[in-house]
Structure 1
Amino acid sequence: MIYGVLVSVPEKFVGKYEDEARKAIGYGIARGDVISFTEARYRGDVAFVMLARSNRAAERVAEELGELPVNVKIIEIEGES
Structure 2
Amino acid sequence: MKRGGVNRLSFGVQTFDDGGLERIGRTHRADDVFHTVNEAAKRFDNISIDFIVSSFSVLTKFGFASTEYSRFGDASGSR
Superposition TM-score tier, normalisation by shorter sequence: 0.3 to 0.5
The structure carrying a bigger strand percent of its residues is 1
Query: Could you say which structure has the greater relative contact order, defined with CA pairs below 8 angstroms and 6 or more residues apart?
Result: 1
Larger radius of gyration: 2
Give the TM-score taking structure 2 as reference length: 0.32
